[in-house]
Chains A and B, each alone.
Chain A
Amino acid sequence: MTPLVEVDRLVKRFPLTRGVVFQRRVGVVSAVDDVTLAVAEGETLGLVGETGCGKSTLGRLMIQLLEPTSGTIRFDGEDVTTARGARLQGLRRERQMVFQDPSGSLNPRRTIGAIVAEPFAIHGLLRDRDERRARVQELLEQVGLNPEHYNRYPHEFSGGQRQRVGIARAIALGPRLLVADEPVSALDVSIQAQIVALLRDLRDRLGLTLVLISHDLAVVRHLCDRVAVMRAGAIVELAPVDELFEAPQHPYTCELLAAIPRLPIGGGQSSSST
């Protein structure tokens, strides 16, 4: 069965330039360095790693928010690396992203109703205002918000609620692929659980293919089927989730797992990690 998303030998380099008038390339940063990966439809893939490993860049490349330096991207079997214009626009409907910072990713000057309605406006769908409004309110309810808060502004909501708005916006067009970039890192612990539960719920109900980017291995273990561990732009280990956590192969994966603080619930000794 063809995977939904495939990236082949994907490379993304950012140039480091010096020079006043004539900018010379003095070096490059390989944010993503020769990554090959396939995500099956309906699967939940976790991308984990520490700061600077390239997981966010890879996520953005997968939905073509960034252009790769080289390599190919396939969606539903088709090579879309060079897609532009209307074709790319059409693809956007199928692939959406949820961002990390719920405050920064919502325009503070627009109501949440307008924010969630915007995808429709951009793609020329649901032109009828009442229809659109009804659909937006439906979406708000799906993510656990009160549909009557349609006309409120982001600053009137808490972090967790704003993240729900971001999610509503992302699923508005009925995408097949959802990339969530650290969706709960900026939230309080008890709210994190709510959003994780929401993501799982939506994924099951809407049949989404989910790519979860996170530095929090425990959350990844909870949601994902397969996990890719990244370091310095490359995937060092890719395995089904149980295997990865029970029998990690790569030394870096072992290091990451060992570093996670354990809760000594039930009276057991807490592990010292060094």
Chain B
Amino acid sequence: MLKLQVKPRSEGKVVPLSDAAWLEGLLRRAGAPVRPDEAPVPVVGQAGLSAIEGGERTAEAEGMAPELLIPSGLRARAERIVALSRNEGLPVFPVAVAPLFAGWRLHTKGKHYDYVFCNLAEDPLFSDPDGFPIPAHTLQHLHRLNRSSLARCFDLLYVVHEVEKGSIKEGEPLEAERLVPPSPHVRRASERLGSLGTVLWLGTALPLLGGAGLGLATAAGLAMIPLSLGLGLDPLLLGAVVAPQRPIRVGELAVWFYLTHWRYTAEEGERGG
């Protein structure tokens, strides 16, 4: 178990760490951030609580009383998760402290993309008839996470969808098609099947079309249009935990953990995180 609850001062006085300092320390102990250059989780938390936004600005450094919004039970629970993740060798680490919310929230302050924070249960992909698309290698990682002792640690799961700037607006319906680009693999397969079908049909019509049909069929069979690929969009899966004995409801303060992320691009064989 990590010992981050108190920080001894030179005078011998024991002062609890501020929330930001505690979170920063926990993050440091848990491992490297996902992608520090892109700040993958633009935290929607309360002032001074984000490890990313307020990591350097600790209350102690400013000579103020430390902010103590995170209950000690929640701190202990978060530290236990970090310890478990280290034992399991899984890259699970805290990214923010923020209240729980229902539905989805749009974050538009990203430099290149907007971010849709969505409760997994209310994510349109979760109820999509074609299933929730996750690259195969990330699915393997999630299965491993599911087999680990961490699987039941999280009270709520959220997905952060990276979307093109301005493509989604608050108040508008959230559509699955805007969150996930079409699978390039399926598009390629569809093109191959289309070309093969053309050859087949021209072959069927051969008695009628004669030699011209064969020529066209060959040409159609050879015509492979190169696939134009859109920009990659990288969703994140976050797990949120609330303090023990606290209800899981809107507005309840929670520590948010990074679980995994993936990329919807052509490089499907590439490991996301």
Q: Do A and B bind each other?
A: no
Interface residues of B (CB under 8 A from A): none
